[in-house]
């Protein structure tokens, strides 16, 4: 497929997102960089998420809905959106997170300057109601495959990928943390992910989000090490201890 050179394809999975998806879409509409398409894959939501998406899509043709016929989970929804993406550039935005207005413009310039396959940015967490804003989450200047294995540095809604540099398509695997595994897959062939040290995203903390239960999160990452990557017990143990330490440092305060 020939990708449109300047177009940023924004991948947004949605499920029961009616409380927040409007804020997420508005943050895309407010971008100073305007050459984008927003592909929203609704994962068979039982609430009025689809009606909200239709309303926005009727007002802006750059918003392109995909209404899945059965619920398949985040990886399935992201892959459905990725299959429709036309841009050289692929960004990810979850349906409860929001971008700062100059996120795309600043990150794309940074991306071109570094020549990276993948870039990511700093961000702050916010409470579900949006009133409480957390501390700035620090990130490394660069991170490679081996370092990322035991790290939580890359937040999905901060990622930008240059598909012209990939040797294979972006594909989410059906695992608990499909995004984490995807970034590892992209870096496994070599190269670095570059961190843009600017505060360009707000990550909404929800009580029922998959990352809230840290014990369960650690168990799921352990399963990825052992079952997906087929790492040995001792290597997996070393990685999970490093992952846990980095997660604790990252989330030690709101």
**86-138, pLDDT tens digit by residue?**
999 999 999 999 999 999 999 999 999 999 999 999 999 999 888 899 999 99
Which pLDDT belongs to residue 1? 67
Asked if 80 and 41 count as a contact pair (C-beta separation under 8 A), the reply is: yes
Residue 33 has pLDDT above 90, yes or no: yes
Distance CA 208, CA 201 (A): 20
Chain-centre distance of CA 51, in angstroms? 24
Share of the chain above pLDDT 70, in %: 97
Closest alpha carbon to 185 in 235, 228, 231, 153: 228
Question: Which residues does 139 contact at the CB level (< 8 Å), separation at least 6?
Answer: 120, 121, 122, 153, 154, 195, 197
Which pLDDT belongs to residue 250? 79
Distance CA 11, CA 24 (A): 12
| Residue 221, Cβ density class (10 Å: 0-12 exposed, 13-18 middle, ≥19 buried) | buried
pLDDT band (50, 70, 90) for residue 2: confident
Identify whether 168 is part of a domain. yes
Identify whether 81 is part of a domain. yes
99-130: string of b/e by CB count within 10 Å (b at 16+)? bbeebbebbbebbeebebbbbbbbbbbbeeee
Q: Give the Å distances, CA to CA, from 214 to 57, 138, 181, 218, 248.
A: 36, 19, 18, 6, 9
Angle at Cα 20 formed by Cα 91 and Cα 124, nearest 5°?
Answer: 60
Residue 68 has pLDDT above 80, yes or no: yes
Closest alpha carbon to 228 in 191, 193, 180: 180
CB atoms within 10 A of CB 68: 18
Closest alpha carbon to 40 in 30, 26, 54: 54
Identify whether 134 is part of a domain. yes
Average confidence score pLDDT of the chain: 93
List the domain range (segments joined by +) for residue 43. 4-206
| Mean pLDDT computed over 23-34 | 98
Residue 21 has pLDDT above 80, yes or no: yes
Counting the structural domains of the chain, the total is 1
Which pLDDT belongs to residue 27? 98
Identify whether 114 is part of a domain. yes
* Helix (H) or strand (E) run with residue 248 in it: helix 233-250
Which pLDDT belongs to residue 91? 98
Which pLDDT belongs to residue 215? 85
Which pLDDT belongs to residue 212? 54
Closest alpha carbon to 157 in 101, 108, 202: 202
pLDDT band (50, 70, 90) for residue 214: confident
- Residues 223-249: tens digit of each pLDDT: 999 999 999 999 999 999 999 998 888
Residue 224's SS3 state is helix
Identify whether 57 is part of a domain. yes
**Any idea what the CATH number is for the domain that residue 92 is in?**
3.90.550.10
Residue 69 has pLDDT above 80, yes or no: yes
| Mean pLDDT computed over 166-188 | 92
Identify whether 48 is part of a domain. yes
Identify whether 196 is part of a domain. yes
pLDDT band (50, 70, 90) for residue 209: low
Identify whether 170 is part of a domain. yes
């Amino acid at each position: 497929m020939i990708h449109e050179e300047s177009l940023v394809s924004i991948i947004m999975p949605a499920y029961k997102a009616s409380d927040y998806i409007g804020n997420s879409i508005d943050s895309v509409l407010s971008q100073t960089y305007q050459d984008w398409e927003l592909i929203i894959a609704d994962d068979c939501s039982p609430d009025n998420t689809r009606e909200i998406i239709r309303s926005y899509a009727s007002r802006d043709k750059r918003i392109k809905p995909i209404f899945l016929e059965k619920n398949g989970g985040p990886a399935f929804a992201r892959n459905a959106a990725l299959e429709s993406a036309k841009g050289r550039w692929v960004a990810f935005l979850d349906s409860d997170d929001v971008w700062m207005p100059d996120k795309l413009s600043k990150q794309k310039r940074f991306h071109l300057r570094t020549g990276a396959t993948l870039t990511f940015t700093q961000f702050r967490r916010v409470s579900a109601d949006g009133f409480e804003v957390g501390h700035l989450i620090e990130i490394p200047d660069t991170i490679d495959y081996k370092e990322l294995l035991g790290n939580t540095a890359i937040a999905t809604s901060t990622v930008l990928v240059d598909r012209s540099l990939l040797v294979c398509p972006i594909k989410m695997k059906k695992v608990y943390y499909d995004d984490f595994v995807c970034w590892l897959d992209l870096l496994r062939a070599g190269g670095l992910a570059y961190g843009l040290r600017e505060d360009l995203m707000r990550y909404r903390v929800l009580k029922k989000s998959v990352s809230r239960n840290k014990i369960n999160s650690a168990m799921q990452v352990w399963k990825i090490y052992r079952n997906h990557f087929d790492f040995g017990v001792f290597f997996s143990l070393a990685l999970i201890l490093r992952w846990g330490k980095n997660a604790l440092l990252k989330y030690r305060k709101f």
